[in-house]
Structures are given as structure tokens and as C-alpha cells.
Structure 1
Amino acid sequence: MATNKPTGAQLVISTLKALGVDVLFGYPGGAIMPIYDALAGSGLRHILVRHEQGAAFAADSYARATGRVGVCMATSGPGATNLITGIANAYMDSIPMVCITGQVGTHLLGTDGFQEVDFLGLTLPIVKHSWLVRDASQIPAIIAKAFAIAKEGRPGPVLVDIPKDVAASFVDSSDMGELSAYVPPAPNAEAIDAARALIEQAKKPLLYIGGGVHMADADQEMRDFVERTGIPLVATLKGLGTVPTTHDLALGMLGMHGTRAGNIAVQETDLLIAVGARFDDRATGKLSAFAPHAKVIHFDIDHAEIHKNRRADVGIIGDLKLALPALQPKMPDISEWVKFNKANKWQHRFKYDAPGKGIYAPALLKYMSEVAADKFIVACDVGQHQMWVAQHCEFAQNKAHITSGGSGAMGYGLPAGVGAKLALPDHHVVTVSGDGSFMMNIQEMATLRRYGINLKIVLLDNSSLGLVRQWQELFYEENYSEIDLSDNPDFVEVAKAFGLSAFRITQRHEVEGAVDRLLAADAPTLLHVLIDPRENVWPLVPPGASNAEMMEERWDEPIDSY
């Protein structure tokens, strides 16, 4: 029967449009079919991924690249559960995302109906907020609130689970309601004064920059603070690029695979200024030995982070865009401290003249980032290659480095590249992956082909689970258990079967020409790079050790051609 009344599903789509959504990622199915029916012809750009996990990862990456809320959709049951890894990834890295899932009809809830799962209950620990919608007229207000919650304070994912009959029902009237604009709390003036006093008394201050700075849109304020104070800095995996990694005062990443100069600075500092960082185990190593001589100033938007892992002498909760400009210390003479760190940075700089004729992955990655320059965006998977990217690529901006941090989710790189390239089509977006990670979401090459997404892929292939193999070599007496991937398919032929361009290199002299060819390609292209399976990531802080106890690189044997 014809009616002018909208359905709940139509309200989903109209609300997304009203909130400024222009692209979303998903995969249809039975319970979410009314919403996909309303999606057709709506003007919204929907990207049909080939696995729901790819939808969540792509939406996550799109949010990181744009600063907006990423949106993904899936049906009930296995469709929804396939989103869970991506939702957990966004939660761990504080990424704003709204996940819309279909659910079985309300009359089937609790009956173990076909493709029924309590998705609200399953995701409670990994979302900021969630709804099971029972009244279609509330859909606009709920979705608008979901977007607001995803962005405000410490960002994160929000779930809206919509039963099929609710989506299909007609609505007499509804609206989004009035949402008061979120205003981040202003920093406490007394805390700012206390922080200022500590800085003015310090002889060896050090900035410890985390991903929260970029999430607060305070990159420029952070850069201004560095220029104003001249304080050296280290960064977390997610903090890289907030201040350009080539900056004179930047000592690189700290922690398990951080730079020696950065970790030495942390161990020597008398005042650690943590900005949007959470003192996680990969950064701190043995927590009781982390920055042992330092007082701590801790900036964060999340009250729960202050004193959680490390007691702060001064905790400053509030908007970094206000807090950093408000902190105007009269800087003491720290010239000897700066000189000390610059000398360490030079002395312990990475070297790229590895012996042998085989391809040295760190040198390839460094060259690629230099050539792509300010237009370089990497969507990185998880493994040895992830650490090499963090150590050796140059990042002019934080959004240039998109990777799974807290979750460490293999399979992130390819769908993340989809999201990042759609967000930043004029940039050199490159997925860097390993052969283990790449196989986990390899199906998304079909998404690249379907939509003509000109993503470039660098696949570093050592025919093994490299990071696990490295730990087994160093800490498990070379008991190599279930890390052999020598039966990988021919990745060049696989890529070509998906309709991508692809080529392979095996020798060091091929690197520059191959990278240039890859970046110049006008279609999605895979560069398959064979590397020595014995190559490890150095330096490395052993498990249970302090960051001062770094194991160093060994080049005892040549890296030969493959």
C-alpha cells in the first residue's frame, strides 16, 4: 500500500545524509535488507567490500585520514560478528566510527532465530555506547547522538543495532532533535601553573607525544609548543608525524622497537611531558624502570588515563588546543641536554648499507617515503614491516601514518588502504603489508578493481610470520613453530587474477626504479618484494626488560639475493 510515510530504513539513510556522510562501507544480508533497499538511489556512495571486517577497517582508516566519523554496515549474525575485530581496533586506537547492523525481527529476539546473535552484548566492552533500536521514530535522534558520542571527548566506535521489522516499519513523525554542541573541557589553570613551574625547574625535559594530539586536532599547537620551548621529543607509534619525523628535535619512536636515541632520552630525562599518550606497555617496556629519574606532566582528555599506569606529578585534563598554548614557560637553559640528544641521534642513526645484494626493506621504505614526500600516506599492516615503516619512513603529518596500534590487527592494511585512498584521492596512498597479513584480507583487491581505487601495495614477502619467527629465534631457542609460509601463492599472478597490475623485484639495484614505477602507476598496482627471511627488526627491547636494555642489529651474514 502506497504511503508518504518514511520507513525506519529510509530514516537511516536520510539521517546519514543530513549528518554529511558521503561514503560508507558495508555488506548486505537478510536482516539489513530494508536499509539496503533504501540506500539504492539515495546518492550516498556505498563501497561493497568482500568481507565485513574489511568494512570496519576501511571505515576506521577513512576516519583517521579525514578526522570525520567513519561508517560501516553489516547484517545480523555472522555479518555483525565479522565486524568485531574492526570495532575493537577502533576502540583501542580511539577512532570515531558508527557501526549500523541489522538484527532479526523483534518478535524473534531471544528465540535463537536464524542469524540471531546478541550483538549489543558482544560489543559492550569495545564501544563507547550502543543501542538496540525498538522504535523507528527514534532512529534519527539515535544516529545523530551516535555520531556525537563517537567524536566527543576520547573518540571511539558506537553501535546502532536495528531489528529488521523496525527498519521496515512506517513512521508518522521523527526528527534528530537538538544536540548541544560538545565543548571539550578547558584545562585547569592551577594545573597549567604547576606544569609551568616543573618545566622552568627542569634540566632535561622531554616531550612524549601520543596519538591523542592528532585526535584533538592539536597538531599545530603541538608544533608551536616545540618551536616555542625547544624541548626534544619522542613519539609513540600513533604519534609519529604529529611533529614531522625529520624535525631537528625529533628523536623518533620510543619503546620496544624505538630508536636508541629516543629510549636513551627517556631514561635520562628529569621531566617527561606526556601529551595524548597512555604509557602503554609497548612504549614503556618494564614500567618500573621507565623514565626512572623523571617527574611527569600528563595531558589527556580522558580522566581515566591520568595515574592509570604511571603516577603523574601534574595531570592536565582538557582540550589540548587550549592547554598547549596556555602553557608558556620561561625556558631554562637546556642547550646541553639538546646537544646531548642530537649527538645520540647522529651516533645511533639508522644505517642502510646492509651487506649483500638482496633487498633491504628499511632502505626501500625510506626511499619510497622520500620520493612521495608530503603526499605520502601509508596504510600499514601488522608485523615486521609495520615496525620498519615506523622506524624508517618519513612522515610530514600524523595522518600520513595509518596503522593498527593498540590492537595490532593483521589484515588491516589492504582495507585501510581502501578507506584512506577514498578519503585522500590526490595523495600517494600505499598499503605496506607482509605475506602473512596480506593473506588475511586479500579479497579486498576485488574492491580496488571494482571501484578503480588507485591504491599502491608494497608486499614484503619473507615467506614466514616474520615477527613471530624473530621472537622464536631470540627467545625460544630457535624453535620455529608454525611460522613457515613458503607455500604462499604467486602473489603477482594472484593480483593479476583480481585485475590489478603487479610486478616483482628480488635485487637491490631494482628498488629505486620499482618504487618510481609503482608511484607513477595510474591503476591499482602491487609491488611484490622478496626479502631475506632471516632479516630481523632492530633495535629490540627484550620482554620484561627496560628500554635501556636494547638488543642491537647484527649483520653477521650477508643479505643475499633470493
Structure 2
Amino acid sequence: MRGSKAVLTLLEKEGVDVMFGYPGGTTLTLYDDLLTSNIRHVLVRHEQCAAHMADGYARATGKIGVCTSTSGPGSTNLVTGVATAYVDSSPMLVLTGQVATSALGNQAFQEADSFSMMMPITKHNFRLLAPAEIPEAITRGVSIANSGRKGPVHIDLPADVQKGEVPEAEMKREFPEPPPLEDFHDLPEAIKILRAADRPLLLVGGGIIWANASPEVLQLAEMLMAPVTTTIMAKGVIPEDHPMSLGIIGMHGKEAARKAFMEADVILAVGTRFSDRSSGAQSELPMSTKLIHIDIDPGEAGKSARTQVRMVGDAKKGLQMLIKGLQTTKGETAWSLRIKEILKNCACNINVPSTPVLPQFAIFELNRTLPKDAIVCTEVGQNQMWAAHFFKARYPRQFITSGGFGTMGFGFPASLGAKVAFPNKAVIDIAGDGSIQMVSHEFATAVSENLPVVVCVFNNGWLGMVRQWQKLFAEKRYSGTELRDNPDFVKLAQAYGADGVHVERSSELQEALRTGIDAGTPFLIDIHMDPEEDVLPMIPPGGNPNAVIRGRCTWK
């Protein structure tokens, strides 16, 4: 079997049904064999967006996403998207074409050392030098991407390797992967601490989503009467209208989450890496606060110096063992009553119609108008933080965003990947006028592939988050942040064959959303917003968690 045909056959065997990519000279044989493959190919307009689409597909489904490019500039264009997936632990298989093995190292046309370039931003790399190596690379690559802490795997495919013949015996071989490291020997101590806790709190991160452990989080929270706060990567892990949900924690998180975090006597952290943007406040915790940490990555488990109990392993398995070991359910406690009080103090009114539109009100309308099962993706910046703070996520994988890498331009292509996975769900991208201009060419992909997503552009004429920092911390010395002479975004979408509408008044927004959802074509809603509205509350960078800038926040 020809090498390129073997690649596609093995991917089909692994359950892959879609690939996002852009062809080139070194992948001609791969694309030739795609004509007879069952794998759908989505032709992107830029390779970075192929990676983002594969990432969005993976986050929406929990399955591996696959993207491909040619060599040289094709592979370098993939880098940002691969790094985004790596930081957020999203499983991807990244296939890059390469010059023939005889030309490697000779600065051949469109040659780049993709193997070395991808090394810091992938879980594993394969450079294939013979067709017989293809089965092991594909089979092990998918397994590595999906096991342990998930992430992207890169396979470099020289042109002659794709053209060569793969021995039939190699196609039938199996390549088992060893199970990931596991260490739950401190489980009895964790159970003891949780039983004795008066004010337990669950801090959960994206690892819970990848482990499909949302039911266990909810069960344990209700057993312990422990509130749940999440990082942005775990938003929606339990319904955010649940009485035990505190919402997201961090620099732009909920005041309820921050307050409960500071008052808890035991914190059970699961599937979170304690990033500076989510839980930097741990240094301000009382010394008496006990911290239990479960993570599948040995390098992350126990990362906080405050950790009393460290366990390494699958989040779902760890939570199931805790539930089995505790075997008790608390009723109403002084702590659960305190949480009710905290939540009551953190109930902002975001039904604030105005002209120009306030971002809070835009999220209010999204909460009110979107179908309950809609998928919401975001770009990065103020639009992302408004959505993370105020959008009410109801289930895991409903809210998709770039967390650790903070990649502008992620949301729109990610929404297209999600729409490929769930064509019958409404899929929304919440964008800024800065972010959307980085990837607006993908309206061509959306139209040609019949992917009717709705893009809500929060248009305030600025790179809003950078402007906000200049306003708050640099005495309003605005430099390089005003987006002068923005295009007419509706006309831009229409030029690609999509449609759209301008929204200048709050009263126009609900109708625009309904029109977009029902349009049956990619649809852009250009929402003109107040540039003076900042994303608050906010803990200043490096600041004390009690030194919160609140703005409109009515926290008492």
C-alpha cells in the first residue's frame, strides 16, 4: 500500500472522519489519496486556522483533531495553532509534508526543520525516514495524543516516504502504549482531610473536561456541600446556575469565587495547573488552609508549595475513589449557608440596555436568546473575559476558548471546527474587532464548507484589553491600541458570500441574534460597543487578591 494511502487508512481505523488542511507540493500524494478516502477534508485559507479548527473540533467532541500542511511555510504557519492546543492539553495529530529524505538538510525548496520546530510545543514528534515507519507513527501518535495529559503529536512526512510502499505485515502490527503513571497512595489522607473539613471547596480545571469527570464533580460537591469554582478551561463543568457553582476564578473571575477561595479551610484542586491568571491568590491563603491536588501530569500535581496531599492519575478515577471512600453526604451546613450569602452578594444585573451597547448586555442577550445546547467559542481579550464572566454555561464543552496561550484569532476557526462536529447545533463566536481581522479570511471556508456559524463582533474600535491596561496602569497613555479605519465588517462578510447586520442599539440585538441563528449561512453581527467599558472586576497583575478593581461590580 502506498505510504500516503496507509496514512489515511490508519487514520480511518482510529475513527478519524475529518481533516483540516491546505495542500502543497510535498503533500500531493496525500491529497491524491484523499479522493478515495472516507475522511472529509476541510480546505482552510491559512494553515494556522487548520490547527485551530482541529483544536476546536477536539474540544467540542473530546476526540482527536487532525490537521495537515505542506512543508516549509506551511508547517511554520501551523505553529501558533499547535502551541495553543499544547498549552490547553488538546489532542491533535499534526501532519506536515517534508522534502524528500535525500534532500533533508540541503536547504531544498520549502524545507524547514519542522521536527525541531514542533519539539517544544508537542507531546511527541515523529520524523519518518521509511514507509514502513508509518503504521507505528500513526497508531502510537493517536494513542500518545489521547493518553495521560492530552496534547498534540506531530508527524513529519517526507514526500518519498508518502510515495513508497508500506509492507502489509507492518499494517497489521499493534503498537501498545504503556499506561500513564499513577500514584494514589495518599488517598486515605485526602479522605481524612475532606471528612474533617468545615469549609471545603472544589477548584477544578480543564483536566476534568478531558477526563469526562463532570458527573463526579457534581456528586462530590453535593456530598460535601462544597462549592465549585473553575478555571476558564473548566467553565461549564457543572451547570453555572447550580446553587453550588461559583463560576470562574482568577484575574477577571467572580468575586464569589475569590471570596470562597480565601475562606475555605480545605481546597480540593483537580485537573488544574495553578496558572498565574487563575489561582495566583493562593499565596494569600491562610497558612491553616489545606490543599489536596489531583492531576494526571506528575509535573503539575503538587505544583503549589501549599499542597498537603498530592495524587497523580486520571481525574475521573481519583474522584470516584474519593466518593467511594467518603461514603457520607452532608446536609445543610454553616458553610453552605455562607455560600448562599456570598452568591447573593455576587448577583450582578447585566440587563443594562444602552447606546452604544454595553458588553454585559450583549452577554445578557446571548444567555436569553441562544438555544440551551449552543456552543460558544471566543477570541481573546475583553470579549473573552466578558463571556467567561457572564455567559451561563450549562454543560461541559459548551464554552471553548484559548486559555493558557491567549491566542487572538482562535475563536472563529475553532467555531468552524465545532460546527463540523455538531452541524445541528447553533455555534457562536464571540469576537473582538481586533481578533476577527486576524482570521476573517476563513469566512471563505465557512461559506464553501456550509458551516453557518454566527460571529458576534464586539466592536469598540480598540485593542480593548491592552487599552484597558494602559488606562488603568499607564495613566491613559494609549499607544498602538486604537483600531482606526476598521472595515465595514458586514460588507466584509458579504464579500465572502456570508451575511450580517449592524447593531447600534441594545433593542436591535435580540432580533439580530435570532436572524443569525436561523440564517442558514455564516452570519456576522457587528455590535457597536462603548470603548470606555472595562472588564471588571479585576485583580491587578501581581496584586493582592483583596485589592480588586470593581467598577460596576456591586460586591458588598
- Scaled to the shorter chain, the TM-score interval is over 0.9
Normalising by structure 2, what TM-score?
0.95
Distance 1:548 1:483 in 2: 29
Distance 1:142 1:27 in 2: 21
Partner-residue secondary structure (3-state), 1:516: helix
Distance 1:355 1:445 in 2: 30
CA contact (8 A) 1:279 1:310 kept: no
Partner-residue secondary structure (3-state), 1:418: helix
Distance 2:371 2:477 in 1: 41
- Match of 1:78, as an amino acid? P
Distance 2:97 2:177 in 1: 29
- Match of 1:503, as an amino acid? V
Would the alpha carbon gap of residues 373 and 336 (structure 1) be closer, same or farther in structure 2, given more than 3 Å must change? farther
TM-superposed CA distance for 1:554, in Å, is 4.3
Q: Which residue of 2 aligns with 1:480?
A: 478
Normalising by structure 1, what TM-score?
0.94
Q: Which residue of 2 aligns with 1:3?
A: none
Say which of 104, 124, 147 aligns to 1:152: 147
CA contact (8 A) 1:200 1:331 kept: no
The reply on whether 1:180 has 2:176 as its aligned counterpart is yes
Q: Which residue of 1 aligns with 2:132?
A: 137
Distance 2:5 2:51 in 1: 22
TM-superposed CA distance for 1:233, in Å, is 1.3
- Match of 1:521, as an amino acid? A
Q: Which residue of 2 aligns with 1:539?
A: 537
Q: Which residue of 1 aligns with 2:204?
A: 209
Distance 2:110 2:406 in 1: 29
TM-superposed CA distance for 1:229, in Å, is 2.1
CA contact (8 A) 1:266 1:291 kept: no
The reply on whether 1:102 has 2:77 as its aligned counterpart is no
What aligned pairs does 1:55-454 form with structure 2 within 5 A after superposition?
Answer: 55-173=50-168, 174-175=170-171, 177-180=173-176, 188=184, 190-290=185-285, 293-328=288-323, 329=326, 330=328, 335-354=333-352, 356-454=354-452
Would the alpha carbon gap of residues 185 and 321 (structure 1) be closer, same or farther in structure 2, given more than 3 Å must change? farther
TM-superposed CA distance for 1:37, in Å, is 1.6
Distance 1:176 1:460 in 2: 52
Distance 2:181 2:218 in 1: 21
- Match of 1:303, as an amino acid? P
Distance 1:378 1:291 in 2: 37
Partner-residue secondary structure (3-state), 1:499: coil
TM-superposed CA distance for 1:291, in Å, is 6.2
Distance 1:540 1:176 in 2: 56
Would the alpha carbon gap of residues 481 and 160 (structure 1) be closer, same or farther in structure 2, given more than 3 Å must change? same
Distance 1:462 1:291 in 2: 41
Query: Unmatched 5+ residue regions in structure 1?
Result: 1-5, 556-562
TM-superposed CA distance for 1:283, in Å, is 0.8
Query: Unmatched 5+ residue regions in structure 2?
Result: none
- Match of 2:101, as an amino acid? T
- Match of 2:355, as an amino acid? K
Partner-residue secondary structure (3-state), 1:63: helix
- Match of 2:245, as an amino acid? A
Say which of 467, 470, 479 aligns to 1:469: 467
Identity between Structure 1 and Structure 2 (%): 39
Partner-residue secondary structure (3-state), 2:212: coil
Distance 1:107 1:279 in 2: 46
Would the alpha carbon gap of residues 185 and 366 (structure 1) be closer, same or farther in structure 2, given more than 3 Å must change? farther
Distance 1:47 1:515 in 2: 27
CA contact (8 A) 1:25 1:47 kept: yes
- Match of 1:158, as an amino acid? V
The root-mean-square deviation of aligned C-alpha atoms, in Å, is: 1.8
TM-superposed CA distance for 1:405, in Å, is 0.5
Partner-residue secondary structure (3-state), 1:342: helix
Would the alpha carbon gap of residues 310 and 373 (structure 1) be closer, same or farther in structure 2, given more than 3 Å must change? farther
Deviations 1:378-408 (A, max 9, x none): 1111010100111111111120011100100
Q: Which residue of 1 aligns with 2:11?
A: 16
Partner-residue secondary structure (3-state), 2:389: helix
Would the alpha carbon gap of residues 176 and 361 (structure 1) be closer, same or farther in structure 2, given more than 3 Å must change? farther
Query: How many residue pairs get matched?
Result: 550
| Between 364-373 and 99-108, the greater mean CA deviation after superposition | 364-373
Distance 2:331 2:141 in 1: 48
CA contact (8 A) 1:285 1:545 kept: no
Would the alpha carbon gap of residues 19 and 510 (structure 1) be closer, same or farther in structure 2, given more than 3 Å must change? same
Distance 2:58 2:8 in 1: 19
Would the alpha carbon gap of residues 67 and 502 (structure 1) be closer, same or farther in structure 2, given more than 3 Å must change? same
CA contact (8 A) 2:500 2:516 kept: no
TM-superposed CA distance for 1:228, in Å, is 2.2
Partner-residue secondary structure (3-state), 2:516: helix
TM-superposed CA distance for 1:357, in Å, is 3.2
Deviations 1:93-118 (A, max 9, x none): 00000000001111111111111111
Would the alpha carbon gap of residues 370 and 191 (structure 1) be closer, same or farther in structure 2, given more than 3 Å must change? farther
Partner-residue secondary structure (3-state), 1:431: strand
